[in-house]
Amino acid sequence: LELRSAIELYQSRWQKPKNDPVHRDLTKDFLSAVDWAELERFHDFLKPFYILTKTMEGNASKPGAEGGHGAVWETLKTMDYLFVKFKQAAEETQFEEPSHFKSGIDCGWAKLEDYYIKTDRTPIYRAALALHPSYGYDYFERHWKNAMDRPQWYSDMQSAVGSLFDEYVRQAEVETQAQAGLLEDEADEIEADVNDYSSFGKRSIRSLHTQRKKVKAVSDLDLFQTRPIYPQDLDVANPLEWWNRHQLEYPVLYRMALDLFSIPGMSADCERVFSQTKKMITDERNRLAPEVVEADQLQKHWLMRGLVV
């Protein structure tokens, strides 16, 4: 579209060579006013795709916005936004004559459906968005169950997130029992000489830690999804920082959130690391072991984040 004037000028001046009968007749490929109008429709439709691609390439480990743009939680939100755009375009072109634009909409929507199926292979995409303080299950209910009329997607999401949460619960219980065992062993040594009657019927450290932790862990997910929403929760730019403040309220979900919000949504973040790493390996320093390069890059990023001094 930016070169439309130049292309139209070329079309107006082009002439088929008289001495070359086999030369291709380019007039068959000239762009008409209808073609230009269709190109403009493509341009307008694809503009959000370009913007969202740049957004998803954001640095999710940027200080002050950890877990923000570029993290995996944005993947489904981006796809849902494009789903709405495809749906609107399909409704607008439903009764139009066949065209490149109409075919492109149909093919693009089918491809987007394929990507939805691929996100079902892992609960990470759904769980990350479900654990975002500004979205949660409410997002899926509004968009998947209601706006997109996909109630089964909503039910599957709840099952997938719940199953992933259960894995973290089991892991937390194992660790808690191990810690409680160590504490009780120490307590047994201290209380070994105490009168048997004085300890009769008292709760043990192991049972106290295990039972309370289990009750707390099982209810973490429900508590988070049904918590009161405050104005500051409506636009959380740094989800990891939010979870860090609320880790005592939702201990199991906190560990789950740390894992989920540390995952980039695209390969752009990894490619940035590769680009920086290649500067370390030069012609004079080309025999560094992979472990050395990895350790150096980790140390550099830890220093940049203030994790080590």
Residues 6+ apart with CB under 8 A from 103: none
- Residue 31 in any domain: the answer is no
Q: Is residue 76 part of a domain?
A: no
Distance CA 257, CA 243 (A): 7
- Does 214 or 256 have the greater pLDDT score? 256
Q: Which band of pLDDT confidence, cut at 50, 70 and 90, is reported for residue 37?
A: very high
Q: Does residue 147 sit within a domain?
A: no
**Residue 24 in this model has a pLDDT that exceeds 80:** no
Task: Look at residue 248 and tell me if it is in a domain.
Answer: yes
For residues 274-287, give the mean pLDDT.
81
> In this model, does residue 144 exceed pLDDT 60?
yes
Handedness of CA 95, 100, 103, 108 (dihedral sign): negative
Note the residue count of the chain: 309
Note the pLDDT tens digit of each residue in 62-100: 665 555 677 888 899 999 999 999 999 999 998 889 999
Residue 105 lies in a domain: no
Task: Establish if 272 belongs to a structural domain.
Answer: no
Q: Which of 206-220, 225-239, 252-266, 284-298 has the lowest mean pLDDT?
A: 206-220
Decide if 233 is inside a domain: yes
Structural domain boundaries enclosing 213: 155-260
Q: Does 129 reside within a domain?
A: no
* 200 has pLDDT over 50: no
Residues 165 and 221 sit within 8 Å (Cβ to Cβ): yes
Residue 24 is classified by DSSP as -
Tell me: pLDDT of 14 over 90: no
Ranges 85-89, 207-211, 264-268, 279-283: which has the least confidence: 207-211
Q: Distances from the Cα of 290 to the Cαs of 69, 194, 276, 293, in angstroms?
A: 30, 57, 15, 5
Count structural domains, the chain. 1
